[in-house]
Amino acid sequence: MKIYTPAPVHSQDIFPLFLFKFAPERKAGGLFKDNLPENYFQTVEYTDAPQGADAIILPNNFTQISPEVRLYIEGHTAQAHAQNIPIYAFSSSDYAHRLPFPKDVQVFSYSLYKSIKKPGDISTPALTEDLGKAGIALRSKSDMPTVSFCGKAGFSSTREWLGSWIRRIEYELLSVINSKARARIRGVFWRMWMLEACKTPLLKTRFVVRKTFSGALRTIEVPPEQARKEFIDSMIESDFVLAPKGDGNHSNRFLEALSMGRIPVLLDTDVVLPFEDSIDYSKIVVRVPMAEVSQTPRYIRDFYDLLTQEEWHARQRLAREIFEKYLRQDVFFARYFSLRHTQK
């Protein structure tokens, strides 16, 4: 496959996977980037012009559509039309669903809501470490499954609490007309509700609750090495990993759990998962409807109790296999473009 990537528009950040091409002196920000998969976009062939390309890919991470950005996108969309090839963009913002991309642009995004998903939106796995690359440790069945969560599930300040409540009230009011609007309530509430529901004799819990986000140096509240060790250990020593949304409608924890052969418990806040048409997620994910968050333990036990020891081990292996074949980010893009190219 041959790709044409024009120079980025300067008012927007470069998508991290294209830093190698347009800003090699820079590295992707954030913590916990030591065990990342290969960058798919460093393995493809590039052209110097749209002519002869199989697709145009815009290298920015679009977080807003200003007049300048719209002109930039529309200009390259016209080039794609002239060559009869698709055009792709990236928007890894937590609020990508709000951006008015032109209808012919296909947008890779981590944070989508099914009820307002546009035809060009493509649910994409985030760039996460492959924590199970060296092998997974299978858990044997017991009378009571262990459920873990390690991360932010509280407020760091009165100001954050007040702002979050104001936004929550807005979505609660909107939900009177459209029940799906509740999905856009900030993730910290869903996390607290889910953790509270799991305080039951039906489950063992392994919770490490923080008041700040641990993925950035400016917010992490313990040394990064300690934070990562506690996060990984909590998954290794559990059967299920709670995976409610964050500020955006996705969870890196969901992918990291699968990479380690653990079963994520997905709170379905109108979620769109990658390759939903190809993957039978019901085999490797406990999906809890957001209206039934208080029933999370029942959904976990319904999944767990019906499995034999052999089936439970098979589900853990399948979780790892699905991550490795479909959801690791490099494999996702390779598979997506391979399928698109063969369908031409």
Tens of pLDDT along the chain (344 residues)? 899 999 999 999 999 999 999 999 887 666 777 778 999 999 999 999 999 999 999 999 999 999 999 999 999 999 999 999 999 999 998 888 889 999 999 999 999 999 999 999 999 999 999 999 999 999 999 999 999 999 999 999 999 999 999 999 999 999 999 999 999 999 999 999 999 999 999 999 999 999 887 776 677 788 888 888 999 999 999 999 999 999 999 999 999 999 999 999 999 999 999 999 999 999 999 999 999 999 999 999 999 999 999 999 999 999 999 999 999 999 999 999 998 765 55
Quick one: how far is CA 55 from the chain centroid? Answer: 24
Phi, psi values for residue 58, rounded to 5°: -80, 130
Sequence-separated (6 or more) residues with CB below 8 Å from residue 330: 37, 38, 39, 40
Residue 114, CB half-sphere, CA atoms under 13 Å: how many? 12
Sequence-separated (6 or more) residues with CB below 8 Å from residue 38: 330
pLDDT at residue 217, as a whole number: 66
In whole angstroms, what is the distance from residue 106 CA to residue 95 CA? 16
168-202 pLDDT, tens per residue?
999 999 999 999 999 999 999 999 999 999 999 99
pLDDT at residue 269, as a whole number: 98
pLDDT at residue 342, as a whole number: 58
Tokens of 132: 């199970």
What's the distance, Cα to Cα, between the start and end of the chain in Å?
12
pLDDT at residue 204, as a whole number: 98
Residue for token pair 């031409």: 344
pLDDT at residue 339, as a whole number: 82
Of 169, 163, 162, the residue nearest 184 (C-alpha): 169
Residue for token pair 């590039």: 46
CB 31 within 8 A of CB 220: yes
DSSP 256-294: HHHHTT-EEEEEESSB--TTTTT--GGGT-EEEEGGGGG
Q: If you compute the radius of gyration of the chain from its CA atoms, what whole number of angstroms results? A: 21
CB 263 within 8 A of CB 147: no
In terms of phi and psi (left: phi > 0; alpha: psi -120 to 50; beta: otherwise), the region of 135 is left
- Determine how β-strand 2-4 pairs with β-strand 146-152: unpaired
Within 10 Å of residue 276's Cβ, how many Cβ atoms?
A: 12
In whole angstroms, what is the distance from residue 69 CA to residue 63 CA? 10
Give whole-number Cα distances, 90 to 22, 176, 195, 274, in Å: 15, 33, 33, 15
SS3 166: helix
Sequence-separated (6 or more) residues with CB below 8 Å from residue 290: 182, 183, 190, 267, 268, 269, 270
- Which H/E stretch holds residue 167? helix 158-174
